[in-house]
Structure 1
Amino acid sequence: VMSILLHGDAAFAGQGVVYETFHLSDLPSYTTNGTIHVVVNNQIGFTTDPRMARSSPYPTDVARVVNAPIFHVNADDPEAVMYVCSVAAEWRNTFNKDVVVDLVCYRRRGHNEMDEPMFTQPLMYKQIHKQVPVLKKYADKLIADGTVTLQEFEEEIAKYDRICEEAYTRSKDNKILHIKHWLDSPWPGFFNADGEPKSMSCPPTGISEELLTHIGNVASSVPVEDFKIHSGLSRILKARSEMTKNRIVDWALAEYMAFGSVLKEGIHVRLSGQDVERGTF
């Protein structure tokens, strides 16, 4: 399994989750053993120029925090893109580390159907309108080289157009509107095929006081004999033991009892994060 993430250039530089994910990339129990990040760098973030969107020269500079290799490639050259992607995949498989492919390209039209980029980037889009589309540019090269004929190229284009048109026609089929059970992705067993709840009742989840007392006692004890614990922790355990004995529960003990009851049913519980080891929260 190879993890591949597709990013936009403005999002890659501007969203904190990208930076956070890179710092998780090589941690035990979190690593994907290398992710290939493909950045579609159209050199504009909706209407924002790069000089107004980031302080670094490239949108991919955030990947330097983990020394990930970054390949900047001209997206108007399909063969160069294929070569770089092949190198990136080989790097990931060899070293099990993250790698970034920066596809330097342009956005021919607006951010969406209502966006007119000439309003905010007139000079940029004058240049873009002069650009020969990459498909035509590459097709002309292959035809000139004798790799394909003009007829073969036109047949492939027509074939792809048919696939798109047929899919568009099928999308108008009214029957699709009735398939809520996969469009809404409800939990199996919770909803019927029409997307309505099967039942509003909840199964009982309570446990006996005897089991709660047992969990409270375990939670206030030290599992290893003759183990000297910190005096501050000793006071916490003693207070927890007193609460259990007096049938009093605070938030922390309630959480302990919830985790303990799940564990008693044979379900693993994993606590993770910078605060849980010391029990800050």
Structure 2
Amino acid sequence: MSTHEQSAAGAGVPAVVAVVGGGTMGAGIVQQFLTAGADVVLVEATAEAAGAGRARVAAGLEGARSRGRIDAEPAAYLARLRTVTDTAAIPADTGLVVEAVPERPELKIAVLTAAEAAVGEDAVLASNTSSLSVTELAAALQRPHRFLGTHFFNPVPASKLVEIVVAPGTDPAVLESVRGWVGALGKTEIAVRDAPGFATSRLGVTLGLEAIRMVEEEVASPADIDTAMELGYRHPMGPLRLTDLVGLDVRLAIAEHLASELGDRFAPPELLRRMVAEGKLGKKTGQGFHTWDEGE
């Protein structure tokens, strides 16, 4: 067992964590590891993007402080955050690298192979993918046994779940380490075999696409469809509001991928394609199936 696996036995997180990609998901993952005690290196393509990522983390910490979820001032956590613009600058003693870039296989492979070259042989690499094949990503690596998927959910700080996706070659000790690290973040993990859509995306997209078809067929309004699932089935958020939160463009990309792997039952509705083409991407643009105020 490596020193990184041994550190997991103490229910802590790795001392040094790198996150590649400082968008909404990446910033949330950074925030979680900072509040769990890790030193975090955030990797972005440019200094401007890195600054924006740091600002997202700072805003998230401010929100957590205002809600009483953290005790220290945000500056205390930000003191352990460093930003770089080159994957090669990831410290060699990093215990975990989480890739959180857009859902494009070629981009993820480029990031993961560069990160693998920067870190030691004991480091664990993980992809925050919601639908791409972890097995195919692992095939590009020199140490595929040190790799798996860690599917975080949006918003990361508030979400209680991390879906761990295991490729056929993943070392069982790596899985156990990541289970411990997820627990140290205050979240619950589930482990699933690598399959199209895993467990969560496959089920969540199925519900979301059918809700979009219902809007398309004028069965009910988006608000009423969401209320039906929230009150009738006790979902914390309706499928259309969740689609807005995830991003209609993200949901479209996942649906197209699942349709190519699993068939026409995942074919995106024309309404979804049209809204994406019109730039109605959900919360991040202020308009999707619902209208979003800037403060929401």
The alignment's TM-score, normalised by the length of structure 1, stands at 0.22
Larger Rg belongs to: 1
Task: Determine which structure has the larger strand proportion and give its number.
Answer: 2
Structure with more relative contact order (C-alpha pairs < 8 Å, separation 6 or more): 2
The alignment's TM-score, normalised by the length of structure 2, stands at 0.21
